[in-house]
Structure 1
């Protein structure tokens, strides 16, 4: 006699994990880059930096030269990243005050900034500082997107309610206007070229149709192969 299974089978995982997003993004960092890391998924990037490339990581709280994860038993509580997580330092790293840290940002000394987002528009507008119903928290994001030539977003493709985060027009207050140059999500990689969104890669196991179903912005496709 065949038994009846009452439990509902879990839905299959589609796309990359948060760690997978960080790993995929890290592959595109160029040798010699100086890169700011925002909170959230960007803080996972140090785990996946290619060994054959030298990338200097910056945190707006005053660290230039972030290393790998700190041993929990040896972590210095006064040495943290922008998300207040313990870190290590690479040889030659520097600790600065807030004024110098923001002078690095505002002076154009970063090659890229990697941050999370609540919404990104079809033309590269960014909204990431205000969550409705919560206290506003601007942080240094506005300085970063204004002072950095490349702004890479690392985020889940949809929010917790399943709503697309890549939209035609942002409905949340903007952090920056037409500033985003790349988007890395669990489903895909997009580039913003001449103010237009371009799908350049689908995550393993994800079809272009699946990406389109979960994206509320218009875009073109430039998929290799």
Structure 2
């Protein structure tokens, strides 16, 4: 049976569905910012951005953008009732002080045991992007990754051992991808769900790794 990949918006919906009510959550640059648009009705999730926002809402409607109110990726955002913006240093104190329940980050690679590489590919001509990922990865109570499972060349981004420079070791709890949702454990990968039609054997062949169910 053929399978169809989840779109970036579908992956964002899948992430949003797992965010616990009352959680303080940081959304990283790139795909993770889409999660803000899919917080389920009746669930309160307080979104944080490292440039100094707490209580961030979904993206503004076209024509309603305020470029004095942006997230860490310089995209215009909204501010929910009770939200606030503040100094960059206060924002990083929140991140480093263990006050965030979940951070959702992009990644170049994640190891089967949860090592994260998302700031530099190690290529000579690549531009490193440290940002706040290192602070988030060690400061948040849980780190989730949202990414395509494969590179443009078809290589798995989930690997036995990262060969890109690490952002932080053993920090990733879950990986949300276009083909499957996977948990990282000290014993290896555990499948949470997958797209219809994708057999576990096919998923393992794409990863080059065993997946427990």
Which deviates further from its counterpart, 168-177 or 186-195? 186-195
Structure 1 equivalent of residue 138 of structure 2: 146
Q: Any conservation in 2 of the 1:29–1:55 contact (CA below 8 Å)?
A: yes
Structure 2 equivalent of residue 199 of structure 1: 191
Alignment TM-score, normalising by the size of structure 2 = 0.94
User: Which residues of structure 1 form unaligned runs of 5+?
Assistant: 1-11
Structure 2 equivalent of residue 7 of structure 1: none
Structure 1 equivalent of residue 167 of structure 2: 175
| Cα deviation, residue 195, structure 1 | 5.0
2 CA distance for matches of 1:194 and 1:175?
18
Alignment TM-score, normalising by the size of structure 1 = 0.89
1:105 matches 2:85: no
1:72 matches 2:79: no
Q: Any conservation in 2 of the 1:122–1:218 contact (CA below 8 Å)?
A: no
Q: Any conservation in 2 of the 1:142–1:175 contact (CA below 8 Å)?
A: yes
Aligned length: 210
* Partner SS state of residue 104, structure 2: strand
1:114-140 deviation per Cα after TM superposition (whole angstroms, max 9, x unaligned): 000000001100000003231111111
Q: Any conservation in 2 of the 1:16–1:204 contact (CA below 8 Å)?
A: no
Larger radius of gyration between Structure 1 and Structure 2: 1
Pairwise CA RMSD of aligned residues? 1.4
1 CA distance for matches of 2:100 and 2:200?
33
2 CA distance for matches of 1:176 and 1:184?
18
User: Which residues of structure 2 form unaligned runs of 5+?
Assistant: none
